[in-house]
Amino acid sequence: MAKIAVGGSRSIESYDIIKNVLKCLLKEGDTILSGNAPGADRLGERFGHENGIEVKIIPSEWEPHGFKATMMRNEVLLKSADYVICFWDGESKGAKHMMDIALKARKLLAEVRPDGYLRLYLNPRGI
């Protein structure tokens, strides 16, 4: 029963790509951790709700922190997650930050592009 941070770029609009990837990578008993941002985050939440997977929201605290809130929220998501699935448009700084800190923390990472390109960082811990 893993906790998986699922999110990414706000520009991601294809539910089909998110659905197909999450069907392959999630299993019964897993929990989706989401930052609740528009785009990939909310589409990941939708998948969880439609498939009986627990969804835990960890939102950004914009009021006191401004843009830094996204980076701070990413750190909280990462600490809570066993691994990360990031749907990245190749431009989003917030999604890129999440991937960078996941790799630095040696967490398992799946990077997914809008065209369906999937890169798995399977062995970051040398296991």
Asked if residue 115 belongs to a domain, the reply is: yes
The pLDDT of residue 127: 45
Q: Say whether 96 sits in a helix, a strand or coil.
A: helix
Asked if residue 24 belongs to a domain, the reply is: yes
Asked if residue 12 belongs to a domain, the reply is: yes
Asked if residue 127 belongs to a domain, the reply is: no
| Residues 42-64 as b or e (16 or more Cβ within 10 Å = b) | bbbbebbeeeebebeebebeeee
The pTM of the whole model exceeds 0.85: yes
CA atoms of 8 and 88, how far apart (whole Å): 5
- Banded model confidence at residue 61, pLDDT cuts 50, 70, 90: confident
- Banded model confidence at residue 13, pLDDT cuts 50, 70, 90: very high
The pLDDT of residue 123: 64
- Banded model confidence at residue 68, pLDDT cuts 50, 70, 90: confident
Asked if residue 126 belongs to a domain, the reply is: no
Asked if residue 61 belongs to a domain, the reply is: yes
How many domains are contained in the chain? 1
Q: What is the CATH number of the domain that holds 44?
A: 3.40.50.450
Domain around 28? 3-121
